[in-house]
Amino acid sequence: MADSEPVDTTQQVTSKTPTTKQKDPKKSLPAERSKKNREAREKQRKLFEAQKKALDEANMKISKNELKKAEPRVADPPVDGSESAKNVPTKTQWLSVTHVM
């Protein structure tokens, strides 16, 4: 062995107590993990469906309100049907008359 191979002269520090091999929790009990995953997916699916249902209900309410606003309101004809009821000034007209005076 010439100078071509360097020799490692550092000392390695190791513990005097033996360690037991610990299992990786991600690799252990795959059936239990898959059961938890199924439960999580089911819970998420139910939440998504509830959210979708609430969104649909809100859209229905909004569309109903827009339809109500879009409908033209027809004024009720005067009950007595006389011509004198048509010639009476409105509240706005009375206010404008008093403002002029």
Q: How confident is the model at residue 67 (pLDDT cuts 50, 70, 90)?
A: confident
Q: Does residue 54 sit within a domain?
A: yes
Range(s) of the domain holding residue 56: 29-71
Supply angle C-alpha 61, 64, 70, rounded to 5: 140
The two tokens of residue 89 are 């000034």
Place of tokens 């610990």: 22
Cβ proximity of 78 and 86 under 8 Å = yes
Is the pTM higher than 0.85? The answer reads no
Q: Does residue 66 sit within a domain?
A: yes
Each residue of 84-94: pLDDT tens digit?
Answer: 556 777 878 87
Contacts of 89 (CB under 8 A, 6+ apart): 97
- What rounded mean pLDDT belongs to the chain? 78
Q: Does residue 43 sit within a domain?
A: yes
Q: Does residue 19 sit within a domain?
A: no
Considering its fold, how many domains does the chain have in total? 1
Q: What is the mean pLDDT of residues 56-70?
A: 91
Each residue of 4-43: pLDDT tens digit?
Answer: 677 767 776 677 777 777 776 666 667 777 888 999 999 9
In this predicted structure, what is the pLDDT of residue 68? 85
Q: Does residue 85 sit within a domain?
A: no
Q: Does residue 97 sit within a domain?
A: no
pLDDT at 101 over 70: no
